Amino acid sequence: MTDKLSSPSMFIGIKQENLISFGSGQPDMPPPKGIYDILPKYTNFAYGLIQGEEKLRNSLRSEFLNQDADKDNFVITNGASEAIDLTFRSICKPKDKILIHAPYYYSYPPLLKANHIEPVITETIGGRIQIDDVEQKIHECKAILINSPSNPTGRIQEIKTLKEIEKLAKDLGKVIISDEVYKDLIYERENYMLSGDHVITINSFSKTFSMCGFRIGYLYSNDKSIVKRAIDIKTHSSMNTNILAQQMAIEALKTPKSVIEEQRVRWENRRDTIYKGLQDLGLDLWKPEGAFYVFPKIKNPRKTVWELYKNHDVITYLGEWFGSPNRIRLSYALETDKIEEGLRRIKNYINNT
């Protein structure tokens, strides 16, 4: 039966009584209240601009103050997922290569392969990028994809490493794709945003604003030829991004920074609960420094994920989906009492196997 565990899709969006899902990375906190205020007066049902509503692109400029961003540098997309796909297709041709650090977000390799692009892997140690390995492998690649804080490791890259990658890529004429969907969820330090004319930034309203199902994200590039290519592709694929969700995103961006900070503290408390709980069970894991995932080593991961689900109503994800076959991933996007109940069930499972 464990062969059913072919991809996370079997768990995404699933609802079941008594289920504790450490599965999908969907924040349980409510989206900003203001996003609903527009609904009673909302009347627009027409197609929108492929690039995205001007007002939203203008509002996003404040996220890129250090780069003197222009509204024309953005493309509003169906979540970060579409932004990543459009970026791959805008900068690569078939047989090009992109360097990704492992463990990686599970969608990167399938999406690259679907676009006939070859993933080249650089293994991290303790979740940290090894710059020597990047220096060797980047030559054969068109771009390097950075995800810090990382899904699934919860680790952030050192600022020194990020600056080295920024410079290396610039010197060699390589593109950096920076997937920053967890930029507001860092526990250890301020976020360091990779920047420059060779950087394409990916972001989303899914995590910071708990708007996963509304499907709003964007890409940002100083290189307007990349923006143009992305718009050209989107014109013939998904067309405009949902216009109502874009209006909601404009409201979401009005959220005071203090509210985002309050959320971050709640995430940190949850991080502490799950990290200590799994350590107390004797599991070997890294302390998350950002995002909301833990990635412990486990014996028989396939059997564990399957039996936790079938016999204990607990969803976890297989590490092999993220390029790390001896681990499982748990998202702690849950209230603390649910995290504690899930930990009790995992303890029960471990003690009885």
Ligand X SMILES: Cc1ncc(COP(=O)(O)O)c(C=O)c1O
User: Which residues of this protein are in contact with ligand X, per CB under 6 A?
Assistant: 25, 79-81, 105, 147, 151, 179, 181, 204, 206, 212, 217
Element (H, E) at 178: strand 175-179
Of 59 and 151, which has the nearer Cβ to ligand X? 151
Cα distance from N-terminal residue to C-terminal residue, the chain: 18
Measured CA to CA, the distance from residue 137 to residue 48 in angstroms comes to 41
Using alpha carbons, select from 110, 97, 51, 37 the residue that is nearest to residue 235: 51
Q: How far is the CB of 260 from ligand X (least distance, A)?
A: 17
Residue of closest CB approach to ligand X: 79
Nearer to ligand X, 245 or 278 (CB): 245
Q: In the complex, what is the shortest distance from the CB of residue 118 to ligand X, in angstroms, rounded to a whole number?
A: 20
The smaller minimum CB distance to ligand X, of residues 202 and 312, is found at: 202
Q: Which is nearer to ligand X, 119 or 217 (CB)?
A: 217
Task: Please give the distance of CA 50 from its chain centroid, rounded to a whole number.
Answer: 23
84/285 with CB nearer ligand X: 84
Helix, strand, coil shares of the chain as percentages rounded to 5?
45, 15, 40
By the 8 A CB rule, do 292 and 331 touch?
Answer: yes
**Residue 173 Cβ vs ligand X, minimum distance, rounded to whole Å:** 25
Q: Which is nearer to ligand X, 260 or 350 (CB)?
A: 260
231 in Cβ contact with 50 (< 8 Å): yes
Say how many C-beta atoms besides its own lie within 10 A of residue 333's C-beta: 24
Between 208 and 304, CB nearer to ligand X: 208
Which CB atom, from 64 or from 182, has the smaller least distance to ligand X?
182
Q: How wide is the angle at C-alpha 267 spanned by C-alphas 161 and 244, nearest 5°?
A: 95
- Work out how close the CB of 148 gets to ligand X at its nearest, in angstroms, rounded to a whole number: 10
- 3-state DSSP assignment of residue 132: helix
The position carrying tokens 């899914």 is 206
Tokens 């932004």, residue located = 83
| In the complex, minimum distance from the CB of residue 105 to ligand X, in angstroms, rounded to a whole number | 4
Amino acid making up residue 191? N
Q: At which residue do the structure tokens 């994200």 appear? A: 217
Residues 5/306, Cβ–Cβ less than 8 Å: yes
Residue 147 vs 324, nearer CB to ligand X: 147
Residue 196 and residue 177 in contact, taking contact as beta carbons nearer than 8 Å: no
Minimum CB separation of residue 251 from ligand X in Å reads 18
Geometric angle at alpha carbon 81, from 66 and 242, rounded to 5°: 90
Q: Tokens 């780069």, residue?
A: 67
**Would you state the structure tokens that stand for residue 316, as one six-digit string?**
């976890």
